[in-house]
Amino acid sequence: MDQRPELGIYIHIPFCIKKCIYCDFTSFPDKYDLQERYIQKILEEIENEKSVFENYKVTTIYIGGGTPSSIESKYIIRILDKIKKYLDIKNVEITIELNPGTVTKQKMLDYKKADINRISIGLQSTQNHLLKTIGRIHTYEDFIKTYELAKQVGFENINADLMIGLPNQTIQDIKSTLQEIMKLKLQHISVYSLIIEPDTELEELIENGKLTIPPDEEERKQYQYVKNILELEGYIHYEISNFSLPGKQSKHNTNCWEQKEYIGFGLAAHSYIDKKRFSNTNDMNEYLNNDYIKIKTLQENQTQEEQEKEYMLLGLRKLEGVQIQKFKQKFGKNPLYIFRNEIEELTDEGLLEVELDNIKLTRKGIDFANLVWEEFI
């Protein structure tokens, strides 16, 4: 049995056809001319880090963005071929994010041939008028075409991203989105509450009174509605924003919430190795022109105490919460003792509960999760 610690790999593809009005991820609509050089740089980064692969057992690879499906599939193949030179990808969950309207059948076939085995499609809503408002390039019909292509070429592990709290979005909209989506029997559904990120077009439109978003109370109702319906339909609510059919939880994300290590390649990619957090530069010029050493910056060198707090913070995102035994095994301490003040306070407020071996959010705690996480920052 392979005793090496687990490692996830994240690859960032920072190109998008058009910027959605709410998005502050590192992605550009006007830098496609740099894609060849960019991919070359990622290959160099992987080459530089190849020794890491000897010390770890890689369990997940996640190709995210940006819009990975908007670049030619030969680039995705090149990246995966490079990784395969150094490790055996048998049993590795390999995900790629796709945007409807950017995938051809040939691309889908190439992804399959390159051993990608999980697809994540950004849908957000089935209402075309809402998609237009938030600046998406696609319609619901485009999503269906992308989904059908994925099925046709044999993908059996498919996620769709949905959003709630969108401008002018009603419970009725969400109801019909779920009704449509339930017909597809997707393995995984992520449901994100719209976040108004600073310096986005969305923020400006809201400040100028050109768009309004549902009040918090309404947004919470939307969330509870989604949770109830998906659970009735047999989905497991395993993390604040994530639902899956049994056994189909995303390994990549679960590893992050369990504080497992990962290495990120590409612009603005993060890594967590040996209790240290690194981030890559988010400046494209710097990324393409600097030598490898200057790309990764140390952000945090965790003390044991910081690591313990972070373990709680991440673990409490999962609905099963933090397992007391696992915590003890990892840190040699009882979390009920070292966090007794925080746990007592949050339990009194009805936000946290201790159930057998688990410290977890209550139903109320799910709605006010930020208040819980604040205690562990």
Question: Which residue of 67, 125, 146, 249 would you call a contact of ligand SAM, by CB under 6 A?
Answer: 67
Question: Which residue of 27, 222, 280, 281 would you call a contact of ligand SF4, by CB under 6 A?
Answer: 27
- Site pattern 32..71 for ligand SF4 (x: CB under 6 A): ---------------------------------xxx----
- 161 binding partner (options ligand SF4, ligand SAM, none; Cβ < 5 to 8 Å by kind): ligand SAM
Piece of the chain touching ligand SF4 by CB under 6 A; list 21-29, 204-212, 255-263, 317-325:
21-29
Q: Are 317 and 311 in contact (CB under 8 A)?
A: no
Q: Is 16 one of the binding residues for ligand SF4 (CB under 6 A)?
A: yes
CA–CA gap between residue 285 and residue 258 (Å, rounded): 34
- Site pattern 136..165 for ligand SAM (x: CB under 6 A): -------------------------x-x--
Q: Is 56 one of the binding residues for ligand SAM (CB under 6 A)?
A: no
Closest CA to 57 of 283, 340, 261: 261
- Neighbouring residues of 350: CB distance < 8 A, sequence distance ≥ 6: 362, 364, 365
CA–CA gap between residue 271 and residue 266 (Å, rounded): 11
Shortest spacing between CB 118 and ligand SF4, in angstroms: 17
Q: Are 169 and 139 in contact (CB under 8 A)?
A: no
Shortest spacing between CB 161 and ligand SAM, in angstroms: 3
Distances from the Cα of 42 to the Cα of 36, 129, 342, angstroms? 10, 37, 42
- 19 binding partner (options ligand SF4, ligand SAM, none; Cβ < 5 to 8 Å by kind): ligand SF4
Task: Please report where in the chains the tokens 């998609």 appear, as a residue.
Answer: 131
Q: Are 124 and 163 in contact (CB under 8 A)?
A: yes
List contacts with ligand SF4 (CB under 6 A): 16, 19-20, 23, 25, 27, 65-67, 99, 122
